[in-house]
Amino acid sequence: MKALVLAAGLGSRIRGVAGDKPKPLLKFGDRSILAHNLRWLAASGVTEVWINLHYGAQMIREEIGDGAAFRLRIRYVYEPELLGTAGALGNIADVVTETMLVVYGDSVVRFDLAALLAAHRGADAQATVALFDQDRHFNTGIAGGRVRVDAAGAITDFVEGPSAGALSSLVNAGVYAVEPAVLDLIPRGAFADFGRDVFPAMLAEGRPLRGHILDAQGYCLGLDTPESYAAGQKLLAEGRLAAA
């Protein structure tokens, strides 16, 4: 199983806490945010990981290494200019020959990844988006795109931006299972975002885009700001996060 872990962001909003460290290397408990995600992926059966880099690239390479400490084979892809969440996948299109996971490397997420993959394959979807319910799952109040799904789990609406909150309580958790078929919607070597570009294009073309709601013990901790970082640390200190 292959995964792309996104770690190229600038982390400007949390620089006051992180200092000169890239956000994925910010400590969460006894290890970095990125290390949490890599351990989770390895425990879920992933064996190969690509990590895109930009800000603090050398620091990430030095701390994470070749992946042996995580029982993973890790390759790095440096982006001189940021390509966005989808552009990063387009940048490694040659290796996307089967189902591939895309994971935001600057959030701490836990849920049953095997269940997401089973639902994705069972629905014959081109992409499946992990979703948390802001009213039910532990989170830090950092919400991405809001999603509406039908009774069968198909995504009918995906909205980013200020108006997104009115759509539903289901929020993009930043973990996707994608098929090579989506690559034709991603320009090579150019900026593209899954939430703002690829998923709306899939809906417009009637392509099978699914949502998968996290299991009851799942959680999604966006750690983008000093406030959300503090909220996540509080949940961790209180022992409320399973397998953190």
CATH number at residue 105: 3.90.550.10
Q: How far is Cα 172 from Cα 146, in angstroms, rounded to an integer?
A: 6
Q: What is the DSSP track for 72-139?
A: -EEEEEE-SS--HHHHHHHTTGGG-SS-EEEEETTEEEES-HHHHHHHHHHTT-SEEEEEEETTTSEE
Alpha carbon separation from 228 to 28, 94, 132 (Å, rounded): 12, 36, 16
Residue 69 belongs to a domain? yes
Instruction: Look at residue 16 in the predicted model and tell me its pLDDT.
Output: 64
Spacing of C-alpha 189 from chain mean position: 20
Cα–Cα distance list, 37 to 25, 65, 97, 117, 161 (Å): 11, 15, 23, 17, 26
pLDDT at position 165 is 58
Task: Note the pLDDT of residue 204.
Answer: 97
Whether residue 81 is contained in a domain is answered as yes
User: What tens digit of pLDDT does each residue of 118-167 get?
Assistant: 999 999 999 999 999 999 999 988 667 889 999 999 999 988 765 555 67
pLDDT of 164 reads 54
d(CA 80, CA 87): 13
Q: How many domains does the chain have?
A: 1
Q: Which domain holds residue 53?
A: 2-237
* Residue 11 lies inside a defined structural domain of this protein: yes
pLDDT attached to residue 15 = 65
Query: Is 168 a member of any domain?
Result: yes
Residue-level pLDDT at 99: 98
Give residue 194's pLDDT.
96
Q: 243 lies in a domain?
A: no
Residue 208 belongs to a domain: yes
Give domain status of residue 104, yes or no. Answer: yes
Tell me the per-residue pLDDT of 80-100, one tens digit each, with 9 for 90 and over: 999 999 999 999 999 999 999
Model confidence band, residue 117 (pLDDT cutoffs 50, 70, 90): very high
Q: Is residue 77 part of a domain?
A: yes
Structure tokens at 29: 């408990």
State the Cα–Cα distance between residues 214 and 242, nearest whole angstrom: 13
Q: What is the mean pLDDT of residues 110-120?
A: 97
- Contact predicate 93/188, CB 8 Å: yes
pLDDT tens, 3-35?
A: 999 999 876 667 666 667 899 999 999 999 999
In tens, the pLDDT along 191-208 reads 999 999 999 999 999 999
Instruction: Report the number of secondary-structure helices (H) and strands (E) in the chain.
Output: 7, 14
Residue 137 pLDDT: 95
Q: pLDDT tens for residues 65-84?
A: 999 999 999 999 999 999 99
**Tokens encoding 190:** 């150019």
Q: What is the pLDDT of residue 115?
A: 97
